[in-house]
């Protein structure tokens, strides 16, 4: 639980709000649900199953600017893995890594560089 606490307190969470509009394919049912939360300079997307999902990055331009640094965050270990820099335009699919054992939940972290 401490890893998620550090993730949440790394940004000014008070500027954020849930935003399912960022999900290009809409919200999915039950375990396929993607928790989308975005605020000033950040956006978090939590996937319980680790399934690929598509985002409408153009809707993040006001929060992140023209580009964002993208990371995968493993809530079990607290480790960030740098993905790349993404442009805040169009629709893009994100595919979480696959863990060899245990739960395959991930958080896609987008931050203003």
Residue with tokens 């849930």: 18
Q: Which residues contact 11 (CB under 8 A, 6 or more apart)?
A: 39, 41, 42, 111
Q: Average pLDDT for residues 33-53, to the nearest whole number?
A: 96
Query: CA dihedral in degrees (101, 103, 104, 106; nearest 10)?
Result: -130
**What's the pLDDT tens digit per position in 55-109?**
999 999 999 999 999 999 999 999 999 999 999 999 999 999 998 887 899 999 9
Q: Could you read off the pLDDT of 94-112 as tens digits, one per residue?
A: 999 998 887 899 999 999 9
Domains located in the chain, CATH noted: 2-111 (2.60.40)
**Alpha-carbon radius of gyration of the chain:** 13
In this model, does residue 1 exceed pLDDT 80? no
Cα 105 to Cα 45: distance, rounded to the nearest angstrom = 11
The model carries a pTM of 0.94
- Counting residues of the chain whose pLDDT is more than 90, the rounded percentage is 84
Look at residue 2 and tell me whether its pLDDT is greater than 90: no
Task: For residue 21, give the DSSP letter.
Answer: G
Lowest mean pLDDT among 4-8, 33-37, 38-42: 4-8
Distance CA 98, CA 91 (A): 22
Structure-model confidence comparison of residues 18 and 3, the more confident one: 18
Q: How far apart are the first and last CA of the chain?
A: 27
Average pLDDT over residues 34-54: 96
- Which long-range contacts does 30-36 make (Cβ < 8 Å, 24+ apart)? none
């Amino acid at each position: 639980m401490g890893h998620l606490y550090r993730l949440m307190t790394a940004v000014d969470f008070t500027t954020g709000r849930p935003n399912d509009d960022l999900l290009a394919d809409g919200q999915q049912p039950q375990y396929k649900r993607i928790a989308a939360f975005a605020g000033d300079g950040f956006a978090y997307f939590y996937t319980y199953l680790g399934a690929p999902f598509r985002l409408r990055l153009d809707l993040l331009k006001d929060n992140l600017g023209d580009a964002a640094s993208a990371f995968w965050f493993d809530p079990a270990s607290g480790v960030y893995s740098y993905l790349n820099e993404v442009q805040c335009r169009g629709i893009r699919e994100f595919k979480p890594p696959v863990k060899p054992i245990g739960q395959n939940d991930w958080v896609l972290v987008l931050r203003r560089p």
